[in-house]
Amino acid sequence: MDWVGNATVKREFDRFTAEVSDLLLRTGYLMTGDAKDAEDLAQETLLRVARRWRRVQLMDRPAAYARRILINLVLHDSDRRSRQRAELQPGDGALDTGDETAARALREIEDVAEFRWALAQLPARQRAVLVLRYWADLSVAEVADVLGCSAGTVTSTASRAAARLAEALAHSDPAAADPMIR
């Protein structure tokens, strides 16, 4: 009986898991603001990658593919829960004055939990744009590709998200909202 042959595949996948775990956990953490949720997301992502492993391992950037799955899991969950779409319609981006206010608000953050809390107040797609653009350091075109929208939509969403983030920071009381912060 030919039962052998998957040992090498498993080793390769184990190596991939070790390589991408940190990326997935931290991306999940920024998208959810919760370490346990991040771990669940990372695990679900790896399970999905495992199912398609033969194809994934032939890709140029399997880690990017895994990150895309994770982001889509968050967005799908968000879509399922409520609204959406309008967030990603190109619109009137924030004005430069808004950007200045936002930059100042970010500079004045004293506790990183405050930022995490403010980020959690954004709609999932706005959060995804910021995480992919400013933490994963993807180009506007790459973000657009991950989220399935136009580059213009990414830039306008980024501006709106930053303005909304500043607004949340201005009104933040994370100690009251987040039981982890005491």
Q: Which residues bind other proteins (CB under 8 A)?
A: 1-7, 9-10, 12-14, 17-18, 21-22, 24-26, 29-30, 35, 38-39, 42-43, 46-47, 49-54, 93-94, 96, 99-100, 102-103, 106-107, 109, 112-113, 115-116, 119, 130-131, 133-135, 137, 140, 155, 158-159, 162
Cβ proximity to other proteins: between 60 and 96 the closer is 96
Q: Quote the least distance from Cβ 161 to other proteins, whole Å.
A: 9
Cβ proximity to other proteins: between 83 and 121 the closer is 121
Cβ proximity to other proteins: between 10 and 83 the closer is 10
Cβ proximity to other proteins: between 10 and 76 the closer is 10
Q: For 175, how many CA atoms within 13 A lie in the half-sphere containing its CB? A: 3
Q: Quote the least distance from Cβ 79 to other proteins, whole Å.
A: 18
What is the distance between the alpha carbons of residues 5 and 8, in angstroms, rounded to a whole number?
Answer: 7
Q: Quote the least distance from Cβ 76 to other proteins, whole Å.
A: 15
Please answer whether residues 73 and 28 qualify as being in contact, where contact means their C-beta atoms are separated by less than 8 angstroms.
no
Q: Quote the least distance from Cβ 103 to other proteins, whole Å.
A: 4
Write the CB contacts of 26 (distance below 8 Å, at least 6 apart in sequence).
38, 135
Cβ proximity to other proteins: between 83 and 92 the closer is 92
Q: Quote the least distance from Cβ 106 to other proteins, whole Å.
A: 4
